[in-house]
Amino acid sequence: MDEWYSDDYFIARERFRDAVQGLGGRLLSYRVPSLGPGGRELTTDVAIIGDASPSEVVLVSSGLHGIEGFFGSAVQLQLLDDLHRQHTYCSSKSWVLVHGLNPFGFAWLRRTDEQNVDLNRNFLIESDGFAGSPMGYAELDPILNPQRWMDRWDPMVFATRGAWLVWRRGLQQLKTIVAMGQYEFPRGLFYGGSRHSAAVSLLREHLTDWLDVAQGVLHLDLHTGLGRWASYRLLAQGDIGPERCLELKRHFGADHVEFSDCIRVAYPVRGSVGPWCQTHLSHVDYTYLCAEFGTYSPLRILAGLRKENHAHHWLPGDPEGTLQAKAELREMFCPRSVRWRSSVLAASRQLLMQARDWRPPSVANRGGVVR
Ligand SMILES: [Zn+2]
Protein backbone atom coordinates (compact mmCIF):
# COMPACT_ATOMS: atom_id res chain seq x y z
CA MET A 1 0.00 0.00 0.00
CA ASP A 2 3.06 2.20 0.23
CA GLU A 3 2.64 2.78 -3.50
CA TRP A 4 -0.09 5.38 -2.97
CA TYR A 5 2.16 7.69 -0.96
CA SER A 6 3.92 10.25 -3.13
CA ASP A 7 7.37 11.74 -2.57
CA ASP A 8 6.24 15.33 -3.02
CA TYR A 9 3.24 17.51 -3.84
CA PHE A 10 3.98 17.71 -7.57
CA ILE A 11 4.19 13.94 -7.98
CA ALA A 12 0.98 13.54 -5.96
CA ARG A 13 -0.82 16.09 -8.14
CA GLU A 14 0.33 14.48 -11.38
CA ARG A 15 -0.79 11.06 -10.20
CA PHE A 16 -4.14 12.47 -9.12
CA ARG A 17 -4.69 14.16 -12.46
CA ASP A 18 -3.65 11.06 -14.43
CA ALA A 19 -5.95 8.83 -12.38
CA VAL A 20 -8.94 11.14 -12.83
CA GLN A 21 -8.38 11.37 -16.57
CA GLY A 22 -7.93 7.59 -16.77
CA LEU A 23 -11.34 7.22 -15.14
CA GLY A 24 -12.97 9.68 -17.50
CA GLY A 25 -13.81 11.99 -14.59
CA ARG A 26 -14.10 15.75 -14.79
CA LEU A 27 -10.90 17.44 -13.67
CA LEU A 28 -10.71 21.08 -12.60
CA SER A 29 -7.50 22.83 -11.54
CA TYR A 30 -7.41 26.12 -9.64
CA ARG A 31 -4.17 28.02 -9.40
CA VAL A 32 -3.35 29.67 -6.07
CA PRO A 33 -1.43 32.97 -5.74
CA SER A 34 1.72 31.49 -4.17
CA LEU A 35 4.43 29.43 -5.88
CA GLY A 36 6.08 26.18 -4.92
CA PRO A 37 9.76 25.19 -4.81
CA GLY A 38 11.53 26.06 -8.06
CA GLY A 39 8.91 28.72 -8.82
CA ARG A 40 6.43 26.07 -9.96
CA GLU A 41 2.75 26.89 -9.90
CA LEU A 42 0.52 25.42 -7.25
CA THR A 43 -3.04 24.29 -7.71
CA THR A 44 -5.93 22.77 -5.88
CA ASP A 45 -7.34 20.04 -8.12
CA VAL A 46 -10.90 18.80 -8.09
CA ALA A 47 -12.26 15.58 -9.55
CA ILE A 48 -15.94 14.95 -10.18
CA ILE A 49 -16.72 11.32 -10.79
CA GLY A 50 -20.02 9.64 -11.38
CA ASP A 51 -23.48 10.80 -12.26
CA ALA A 52 -23.80 14.07 -14.17
CA SER A 53 -26.70 15.21 -11.95
CA PRO A 54 -26.20 13.43 -8.66
CA SER A 55 -28.73 13.42 -5.86
CA GLU A 56 -26.09 12.26 -3.37
CA VAL A 57 -22.41 13.17 -3.23
CA VAL A 58 -19.49 12.00 -1.13
CA LEU A 59 -17.08 14.91 -0.87
CA VAL A 60 -13.52 13.90 0.08
CA SER A 61 -11.03 16.71 0.70
CA SER A 62 -7.32 16.46 1.43
CA GLY A 63 -4.44 18.71 2.43
CA LEU A 64 -6.30 21.52 4.20
CA HIS A 65 -3.34 21.25 6.55
CA GLY A 66 -0.71 21.20 3.81
CA ILE A 67 1.70 18.51 4.93
CA GLU A 68 -1.18 16.22 5.93
CA GLY A 69 -1.85 16.01 2.19
CA PHE A 70 0.69 13.18 1.84
CA PHE A 71 -1.78 10.94 3.62
CA GLY A 72 -4.94 12.48 2.16
CA SER A 73 -3.61 12.24 -1.37
CA ALA A 74 -2.73 8.56 -0.84
CA VAL A 75 -6.32 7.89 0.28
CA GLN A 76 -7.68 9.65 -2.79
CA LEU A 77 -5.29 7.83 -5.16
CA GLN A 78 -6.30 4.50 -3.67
CA LEU A 79 -9.97 5.43 -4.04
CA LEU A 80 -9.48 6.40 -7.69
CA ASP A 81 -7.78 3.08 -8.34
CA ASP A 82 -10.62 1.23 -6.62
CA LEU A 83 -13.16 3.14 -8.67
CA HIS A 84 -11.18 2.23 -11.78
CA ARG A 85 -11.27 -1.44 -10.87
CA GLN A 86 -14.91 -1.16 -9.76
CA HIS A 87 -14.37 -4.00 -7.37
CA THR A 88 -15.62 -2.39 -4.21
CA TYR A 89 -17.50 0.69 -5.28
CA CYS A 90 -20.72 0.93 -7.21
CA SER A 91 -21.89 4.03 -9.03
CA SER A 92 -24.85 4.82 -6.79
CA LYS A 93 -23.30 8.11 -5.79
CA SER A 94 -21.05 10.74 -7.25
CA TRP A 95 -17.67 11.53 -5.78
CA VAL A 96 -16.16 14.98 -5.53
CA LEU A 97 -12.49 14.80 -4.58
CA VAL A 98 -10.66 17.98 -3.63
CA HIS A 99 -6.89 17.42 -3.76
CA GLY A 100 -4.54 19.78 -1.91
CA LEU A 101 -6.73 22.47 -0.37
CA ASN A 102 -3.51 24.04 0.89
CA PRO A 103 -1.03 23.29 -1.91
CA PHE A 104 1.54 25.74 -0.47
CA GLY A 105 1.82 23.80 2.78
CA PHE A 106 1.81 20.48 0.92
CA ALA A 107 4.64 21.59 -1.41
CA TRP A 108 6.73 23.40 1.22
CA LEU A 109 6.15 20.84 4.01
CA ARG A 110 4.20 23.15 6.27
CA ARG A 111 0.88 22.71 8.02
CA THR A 112 -0.07 26.31 7.23
CA ASP A 113 -0.37 28.43 4.10
CA GLU A 114 2.06 31.12 2.88
CA GLN A 115 0.75 33.58 5.51
CA ASN A 116 1.32 31.09 8.34
CA VAL A 117 -2.45 30.61 8.49
CA ASP A 118 -3.91 27.39 9.80
CA LEU A 119 -6.67 27.06 7.22
CA ASN A 120 -8.88 25.01 9.51
CA ARG A 121 -9.04 28.06 11.80
CA ASN A 122 -9.68 30.47 8.91
CA PHE A 123 -13.21 29.47 7.85
CA LEU A 124 -14.89 31.89 10.22
CA ILE A 125 -18.49 32.66 9.52
CA GLU A 126 -18.31 36.31 8.40
CA SER A 127 -19.75 37.90 11.52
CA ASP A 128 -17.28 36.23 13.90
CA GLY A 129 -14.31 38.44 13.09
CA PHE A 130 -10.62 37.62 13.10
CA ALA A 131 -9.64 38.62 16.63
CA GLY A 132 -8.71 37.22 19.99
CA SER A 133 -7.05 34.11 21.30
CA PRO A 134 -8.00 31.49 23.87
CA MET A 135 -7.49 32.52 27.48
CA GLY A 136 -3.98 31.40 28.40
CA TYR A 137 -2.49 31.36 24.88
CA ALA A 138 -0.60 34.64 25.38
CA GLU A 139 1.06 33.18 28.47
CA LEU A 140 2.17 30.13 26.49
CA ASP A 141 3.25 32.02 23.39
CA PRO A 142 6.91 32.50 24.45
CA ILE A 143 7.15 28.74 25.06
CA LEU A 144 5.31 27.70 21.91
CA ASN A 145 6.86 30.27 19.60
CA PRO A 146 10.39 31.09 20.80
CA GLN A 147 12.02 33.99 18.98
CA ARG A 148 15.56 32.99 19.82
CA TRP A 149 18.18 30.46 18.93
CA MET A 150 17.27 27.07 20.40
CA ASP A 151 20.23 25.10 21.74
CA ARG A 152 20.56 21.32 21.74
CA TRP A 153 18.98 21.04 25.16
CA ASP A 154 15.79 22.73 24.00
CA PRO A 155 13.82 19.54 23.10
CA MET A 156 14.39 18.18 26.60
CA VAL A 157 13.52 21.49 28.25
CA PHE A 158 10.36 21.76 26.15
CA ALA A 159 9.32 18.17 26.92
CA THR A 160 9.76 18.82 30.65
CA ARG A 161 7.83 22.11 30.52
CA GLY A 162 5.16 20.43 28.41
CA ALA A 163 4.75 17.59 30.91
CA TRP A 164 4.51 20.16 33.71
CA LEU A 165 1.86 22.15 31.83
CA VAL A 166 -0.17 18.97 31.20
CA TRP A 167 0.03 18.19 34.91
CA ARG A 168 -0.95 21.75 35.87
CA ARG A 169 -3.79 22.32 33.43
CA GLY A 170 -4.77 18.85 32.21
CA LEU A 171 -4.25 17.62 28.65
CA GLN A 172 -7.74 18.51 27.45
CA GLN A 173 -7.58 22.11 28.64
CA LEU A 174 -4.07 22.53 27.29
CA LYS A 175 -5.12 21.22 23.87
CA THR A 176 -7.96 23.74 23.81
CA ILE A 177 -5.75 26.70 24.77
CA VAL A 178 -3.03 25.82 22.27
CA ALA A 179 -5.00 24.51 19.31
CA MET A 180 -8.46 26.09 19.36
CA GLY A 181 -7.24 28.87 17.06
CA GLN A 182 -5.74 32.29 17.76
CA TYR A 183 -5.84 35.56 15.78
CA GLU A 184 -3.25 37.68 17.60
CA PHE A 185 0.15 36.08 16.98
CA PRO A 186 0.78 35.98 13.21
CA ARG A 187 3.95 33.91 13.54
CA GLY A 188 2.53 31.66 16.20
CA LEU A 189 1.08 28.17 16.05
CA PHE A 190 -2.60 27.69 15.17
CA TYR A 191 -2.87 31.23 13.80
CA GLY A 192 -6.23 31.68 12.01
CA GLY A 193 -5.27 34.73 9.93
CA SER A 194 -6.58 38.27 9.64
CA ARG A 195 -8.88 37.71 6.68
CA HIS A 196 -10.31 34.86 4.68
CA SER A 197 -7.73 32.90 2.71
CA ALA A 198 -7.63 31.83 -0.94
CA ALA A 199 -9.03 28.45 0.14
CA VAL A 200 -12.17 30.12 1.51
CA SER A 201 -12.58 32.11 -1.74
CA LEU A 202 -12.18 28.91 -3.75
CA LEU A 203 -14.95 27.12 -1.88
CA ARG A 204 -17.17 30.19 -1.84
CA GLU A 205 -16.93 30.52 -5.63
CA HIS A 206 -17.00 26.88 -6.71
CA LEU A 207 -18.30 24.47 -4.07
CA THR A 208 -21.93 24.65 -5.15
CA ASP A 209 -20.92 24.11 -8.81
CA TRP A 210 -18.93 20.98 -7.92
CA LEU A 211 -21.89 19.55 -6.01
CA ASP A 212 -24.30 20.39 -8.85
CA VAL A 213 -27.87 19.44 -7.91
CA ALA A 214 -26.97 17.12 -5.03
CA GLN A 215 -29.51 17.11 -2.21
CA GLY A 216 -27.34 15.17 0.22
CA VAL A 217 -23.62 15.66 0.82
CA LEU A 218 -21.40 13.67 3.15
CA HIS A 219 -18.07 15.47 3.54
CA LEU A 220 -15.02 13.55 4.72
CA ASP A 221 -12.16 15.95 5.37
CA LEU A 222 -8.93 13.94 5.72
CA HIS A 223 -6.46 14.82 8.48
CA THR A 224 -3.68 13.21 10.50
CA GLY A 225 -1.95 13.85 13.80
CA LEU A 226 -4.75 13.49 16.33
CA GLY A 227 -5.64 10.31 18.16
CA ARG A 228 -4.06 6.93 18.80
CA TRP A 229 -1.46 5.54 16.43
CA ALA A 230 -3.09 4.23 13.21
CA SER A 231 -6.63 4.54 14.59
CA TYR A 232 -9.16 7.09 13.43
CA ARG A 233 -11.89 9.30 14.77
CA LEU A 234 -14.67 11.03 12.88
CA LEU A 235 -15.19 14.45 14.41
CA ALA A 236 -18.67 15.64 13.58
CA GLN A 237 -18.81 19.43 13.51
CA GLY A 238 -21.53 21.92 12.72
CA ASP A 239 -25.17 21.99 13.65
CA ILE A 240 -26.08 18.32 14.09
CA GLY A 241 -29.36 17.32 15.65
CA PRO A 242 -29.79 14.32 17.97
CA GLU A 243 -31.35 12.23 15.19
CA ARG A 244 -28.35 12.69 12.89
CA CYS A 245 -25.98 11.98 15.80
CA LEU A 246 -27.61 8.62 16.33
CA GLU A 247 -27.60 7.84 12.62
CA LEU A 248 -23.90 8.64 12.33
CA LYS A 249 -23.04 6.50 15.33
CA ARG A 250 -25.08 3.60 14.01
CA HIS A 251 -23.61 3.78 10.55
CA PHE A 252 -19.94 4.56 11.27
CA GLY A 253 -19.67 2.99 14.72
CA ALA A 254 -20.09 4.68 18.10
CA ASP A 255 -16.38 4.14 18.82
CA HIS A 256 -15.35 6.19 15.82
CA VAL A 257 -17.75 9.13 15.85
CA GLU A 258 -17.17 12.02 18.23
CA PHE A 259 -19.38 15.08 18.74
CA SER A 260 -18.56 18.46 20.20
CA ASP A 261 -20.73 17.75 23.26
CA CYS A 262 -18.74 14.62 24.10
CA ILE A 263 -15.09 15.35 23.33
CA ARG A 264 -12.52 12.69 24.09
CA VAL A 265 -9.76 13.01 21.50
CA ALA A 266 -10.51 16.33 19.83
CA TYR A 267 -10.92 19.88 21.17
CA PRO A 268 -13.17 22.79 20.19
CA VAL A 269 -11.91 24.84 17.26
CA ARG A 270 -12.81 28.20 15.75
CA GLY A 271 -13.00 28.66 12.01
CA SER A 272 -13.30 25.01 10.99
CA VAL A 273 -14.29 24.30 7.39
CA GLY A 274 -17.30 22.10 8.26
CA PRO A 275 -19.61 24.66 9.89
CA TRP A 276 -18.67 27.18 7.18
CA CYS A 277 -19.71 24.74 4.42
CA GLN A 278 -22.91 23.94 6.28
CA THR A 279 -23.79 27.65 6.39
CA HIS A 280 -23.04 28.10 2.70
CA LEU A 281 -24.92 24.95 1.70
CA SER A 282 -28.12 25.67 3.57
CA HIS A 283 -30.17 24.21 0.69
CA VAL A 284 -28.40 20.84 1.02
CA ASP A 285 -28.50 18.06 3.63
CA TYR A 286 -24.81 18.48 4.47
CA THR A 287 -22.92 16.39 7.02
CA TYR A 288 -19.28 17.10 7.87
CA LEU A 289 -16.90 14.59 9.36
CA CYS A 290 -13.30 15.53 10.05
CA ALA A 291 -11.55 12.17 9.65
CA GLU A 292 -8.51 12.27 11.96
CA PHE A 293 -5.96 9.47 11.76
CA GLY A 294 -3.65 9.20 14.75
CA THR A 295 0.13 9.24 14.55
CA TYR A 296 2.27 10.33 17.51
CA SER A 297 1.44 11.69 20.99
CA PRO A 298 0.04 15.24 21.31
CA LEU A 299 3.21 16.56 22.95
CA ARG A 300 5.45 15.05 20.27
CA ILE A 301 3.26 16.53 17.53
CA LEU A 302 3.35 19.90 19.26
CA ALA A 303 7.15 19.72 19.57
CA GLY A 304 7.40 18.97 15.84
CA LEU A 305 5.11 21.86 14.92
CA ARG A 306 7.00 24.23 17.22
CA LYS A 307 10.38 23.23 15.82
CA GLU A 308 9.33 23.64 12.18
CA ASN A 309 7.55 26.94 12.88
CA HIS A 310 10.64 28.24 14.64
CA ALA A 311 12.92 27.15 11.79
CA HIS A 312 10.61 28.69 9.18
CA HIS A 313 10.46 32.11 10.85
CA TRP A 314 13.73 32.44 12.71
CA LEU A 315 16.31 30.30 10.90
CA PRO A 316 16.35 31.59 7.31
CA GLY A 317 20.15 31.29 7.30
CA ASP A 318 20.13 27.65 8.38
CA PRO A 319 18.76 25.58 5.48
CA GLU A 320 20.03 22.36 7.02
CA GLY A 321 18.20 23.00 10.29
CA THR A 322 15.05 23.94 8.38
CA LEU A 323 15.19 20.81 6.24
CA GLN A 324 15.63 18.64 9.30
CA ALA A 325 12.69 20.30 11.06
CA LYS A 326 10.49 19.80 7.98
CA ALA A 327 11.52 16.14 7.66
CA GLU A 328 10.56 15.60 11.30
CA LEU A 329 7.23 17.36 10.76
CA ARG A 330 6.51 15.13 7.78
CA GLU A 331 7.15 12.11 9.97
CA MET A 332 4.70 13.50 12.56
CA PHE A 333 1.88 13.71 9.99
CA CYS A 334 2.74 10.87 7.62
CA PRO A 335 4.93 8.31 9.39
CA ARG A 336 7.26 6.17 7.29
CA SER A 337 6.22 3.05 9.17
CA VAL A 338 4.94 0.52 6.64
CA ARG A 339 2.52 -0.84 9.20
CA TRP A 340 1.03 2.60 9.88
CA ARG A 341 0.74 3.35 6.19
CA SER A 342 -0.94 0.09 5.28
CA SER A 343 -3.32 0.02 8.22
CA VAL A 344 -4.58 3.61 7.75
CA LEU A 345 -5.15 2.99 4.05
CA ALA A 346 -7.05 -0.21 4.80
CA ALA A 347 -9.17 1.67 7.35
CA SER A 348 -9.73 4.50 4.86
CA ARG A 349 -10.95 2.09 2.23
CA GLN A 350 -13.46 0.69 4.72
CA LEU A 351 -14.50 4.21 5.73
CA LEU A 352 -15.07 5.28 2.13
CA MET A 353 -17.23 2.23 1.53
CA GLN A 354 -19.31 3.22 4.55
CA ALA A 355 -19.50 6.76 3.19
CA ARG A 356 -20.71 5.42 -0.14
CA ASP A 357 -23.45 3.47 1.66
CA TRP A 358 -24.46 6.37 3.92
CA ARG A 359 -28.16 6.91 3.47
CA PRO A 360 -29.78 7.47 6.84
CA PRO A 361 -33.56 7.50 7.25
CA SER A 362 -33.67 11.28 7.55
CA VAL A 363 -32.06 11.54 4.09
CA ALA A 364 -34.00 8.66 2.55
CA ASN A 365 -37.30 10.17 3.73
CA ARG A 366 -36.70 13.22 1.59
CA GLY A 367 -37.64 11.04 -1.35
CA GLY A 368 -34.62 11.86 -3.47
CA VAL A 369 -33.75 9.60 -6.38
CA VAL A 370 -30.75 7.34 -5.90
CA ARG A 371 -29.11 5.97 -8.97
ZN1 LIG B 1 -5.27 18.52 10.12
Rounded mean pLDDT, 125-129: 75
185 Cα: distance to centroid of ligand 1 (angstroms): 20
Any residues with CB less than 8 A from the CB of 160 and at least 6 apart, and which?
A: none
Instruction: Tell whether the model's pLDDT for residue 76 goes beyond 90.
Output: yes
321 Cα: distance to centroid of ligand 1 (angstroms): 24
Q: In whole angstroms, how large is the CA radius of gyration of the chain?
A: 20
- Count of beta carbons in the 10 Å neighbourhood of residue 146: 17
Task: Convert the pLDDT of each residue in 140-163 to its tens digit.
Answer: 888 888 887 677 777 777 778 777
Task: Name beta bridge partners: 129.
Answer: none
- pLDDT-derived band at 197 (thresholds 50, 70, 90) equals very high
For the chain, which domains are there?
2-125+191-298+331-364 (3.40.630.10)
- Count of beta carbons in the 10 Å neighbourhood of residue 18: 13
142 Cα: distance to centroid of ligand 1 (angstroms): 23
116 Cα: distance to centroid of ligand 1 (angstroms): 14
Angle (deg, nearest 10), helices 242-252 and 338-356: 130
24 Cα: distance to centroid of ligand 1 (angstroms): 30
297 Cα: distance to centroid of ligand 1 (angstroms): 14
**Residue 165 CB burial class (10 angstroms; 0-12, 13-18, ≥19):** buried
Q: Find the distance separating the first CA and the last CA of the chain, reported in whole Å.
A: 31
- pLDDT-derived band at 369 (thresholds 50, 70, 90) equals very low
More confident residue, 364 or 209: 209
Rounded to an integer, what is the distance from CA 26 to the centroid of its chain? 23
38 Cα: distance to centroid of ligand 1 (angstroms): 26
